[in-house]
Structures are given as C-alpha cells and as structure tokens.
Chains A and B, each alone.
Chain A
Amino acid sequence: EAEVAQSPRYKITEKSQAVAFWCDPISGHATLYWYRQILGQGPELLVQFQDESVVDDSQLPKDRFSAERLKGVDSTLKIQPAELGDSAMYLCASSSSYEQYFGPGTRLTVT
C-alpha cells in the first residue's frame, strides 16, 4: 500500500538556524498539504498545493516559512530562522480526491 514519505523523522535545531523538511506524496496525488500539529491539538494547515501551484498559504508565517513543490511531485518546507515556538510535529498529507493521507511527520525541537 502506497504511503506518504517524509524526512527527517526527527530534527533538533537551535533557534535562529534554518531547517528543511521533505515530503514525497503518494504517486498520482495532485494535492499536497503541509500541516503543523502542536502536542495535544489537531493538525493545522500551513500550505496547500495543487500540482506545483500554491492554492492556500493564508496560515503560513511567510516572514520565516517557505514551501515549494517545483515539479508538482515532492515538496520542501523551510523555516528560517527557527524560533522556540516552532517546536511541533510537521505533517505532510496528499490527496487525489476527498481523502487525505498523512505521512509519519517530522518532529521538530528548537532549543
């Protein structure tokens, strides 16, 4: 069964450093999402792509976060500079219709 892949699984970084997360969606899924999940909360959407185009980035803190999906397949989410409040689980999901399937996530700890 195809799954969404993410790397790294864990990342520890110091504040003010740059971090990047990678996501490979399920093959054929045109829609890709990046979510942030704080412990004890539900996932919150950061950015949504349809193929290589951004559909919604209204909740993305654009002063420090950026996301790209250049060829409409895999995607990278970057934070620069990282802040203590960015510590969270970053989840990627993909979809070809209504159903969204999540990757294992990247657990980010900012010290």
Chain B
Amino acid sequence: GENVEQHPSTLSVQEGDSAVIKCTYSDSASNYFPWYKQELGKRPQLIIDIRSNVGEKKDQRIAVTLNKTAKHFSLHITETQPEDSAVYFCAARYGNNRLAFGKGNQVVVIP
C-alpha cells in the first residue's frame, strides 16, 4: 500500500522565519499531494495542494514543491506568524481518490 512519511516530527521556528516540512511517498503513480493544517481540537483544513503536472505552487505565504523523480514534496511557510502554529499533515492520492496521510508535523512559532 501507499506509505507517506513526514520529517521532522516537530519544528520550532522564530516568528518571521521560514519553516519547511518534507514528505516522501512510495507509490510512483500518485498524482495529487495536498497539505492539511489541523489546530488543536479542530478539523483538518486543506491549505494547499499540488498535482503531478507541476513542480511548484504558491499561495501568499505558503508554497508546495514537488520532486516526482525523488518522490518527495515539501511545504514552505515564509514569514511565520504565531497563528501558523499547528499540526501539518501531508497526503498522497492513490487508487480511487484515496488519500494516505503522514503522521503529521507539529510546527511551533515562537513569538
């Protein structure tokens, strides 16, 4: 089955600095890679996604890059703010629009 791994498990950054989270996936047929943000006690919220026909996508302070050859993709958050503190999950699509999720990264933005 599909395996998705996230690194590092916890990331602490100073407010204003950049944060980068990397995910690797196992199924070379995967063609869609979303990122979700989950604050404590709340639903996972889709924040950005990328399809396999592009290498990068940007939305204001967040961006996602995809390297299909190496089978990894990364979330980049620039100019971090305290409200960026949350758990971030990456996922990869396979089969009948199924998503396999990573275990999540805890991002802590230090004011």
Complex Cα–Cα for A101 and B49 (A): 12
List the B side residues contacting A31 at CB < 8 Å: 97
* Set B43, B91, B104: member contacting A41, Cβ < 8 A: B104
Q: Quick one: closest A residue to B44, CB to CB?
A: A102
Interface residues on B, range: 20 to 34
A95 in complex: contacting residue of B44, B95, B97, CB < 8 Å = B97
B96:A48 contact, CB within 8 angstroms? yes
Interface membership of A45, Cβ < 8 A = yes
Asked if B25 CB lies within 8 Å of chain A CBs, one says no
- Say yes or no: is A26 at the interface (Cβ < 8 Å to chain B): no
Give complex CA distance A48, B99 in Å: 11
Inter-subunit contact B103/A40 (CB<8 Å): yes
User: Would A42 and B97 be within 8 Å (CB), given that A91-B43, A99-B46, A103-B43 are in contact?
Assistant: no
For the complex with contacts A98-B93, A101-B46, 4 further pairs of A-B residues with Cβ separation under 8 Å are A42-B4, A42-B91, A48-B96, A100-B46
- Can you spell out 17 A-B residue pairs with CB atoms less than 8 angstroms apart? A4-B43, A31-B97, A40-B103, A42-B89, A42-B101, A42-B104, A45-B98, A50-B96, A56-B96, A91-B43, A98-B32, A98-B51, A99-B49, A100-B34, A102-B44, A102-B45, A105-B43
